[in-house]
Amino acid sequence: MTNPLEGRITLVTGASRGIGYSAAKALAAAGSHIVAVARTQGGLEDLDDAITAAGGTCSLVPMDLTDFDQIDRLGALLNDRYGRLDGLLCNAAILGGITLTNHTTPKDWMQVMDVNLTAPYRLIRSMDPLLRESAAGRAVFVTSSVARSPRAHWGAYAASKAGMEAFVRCWADEIESITDIKVNLLNPGATRTQMRAKAMPGENPDTLPSPQDLAPLIVDMLSPTFRDHDTLVTFRETPYFKG
């Protein structure tokens, strides 16, 4: 049986751990070549070893997404090598400080906005032309419930995700009638990741779904057969969530 992503090229950010790592492995197992982006060289090498051992293929791109010119250079490199991009998983994010809004430092504010909002904008800017060259371009942006339900002490993170959602949905509306690219948002909910542990240090991680549990949904959303567009998919509201 042919793998559902056979021959596709998928870019995954934040691929060295957590949701990005598990999604990259699952996407590779489904047949896609993975372009894995992360700051952590060791984590990327672990991912490459895991994908290769399972018979998949992966290109490693160690880079900091706040080096925005590097995103443009990556787009040019992908264009020269493949001439297209079939899938984009924009997963990389940082939490920043969980603190009172008026205690948020300018440095923390800019770091959160750079990674969670400006980097997705730059990825859209650079990867849109490549996704248009795909027969079935797909893009998924990982978001959070605090983008729509803000809560105390989460100011910078909530604002960054709300801004990212708005920008992504504007892009989705612009391309809906002129391309076959399908752009969607994914809310994983509470998941067993390092970010969640930092945000909720007293929580028992064994009570949460793992990134591996989420990976099959991401494979589905980045598949040519996924036809939804400009939607917010909440993991816990899908059949993939086993509760």
Q: Kind and range of the H or E element at 88?
A: strand 87-90
Euclidean distance between CA atoms 194 and 201, whole angstroms: 10
- Catalogue the E-assigned strands of 91-238: 138-142, 182-187, 232-234
Side chain identity, residue 8:
R
**One of 21, 82, 121, 157 is an active-site residue; which one?**
157
The SS3 of residue 144 is coil
Catalytic site residue 157? yes
Integer CA distances (angstroms), 159 to 65, 79, 97, 107, in order: 19, 33, 13, 15
Side chain identity, residue 48:
D
Q: Which of 101, 185, 110, 108 is nearest to 148 (CA)?
A: 185
Euclidean distance between CA atoms 193 and 69, whole angstroms: 29
User: What amino acid positions are annotated as catalytic residues?
Assistant: 157
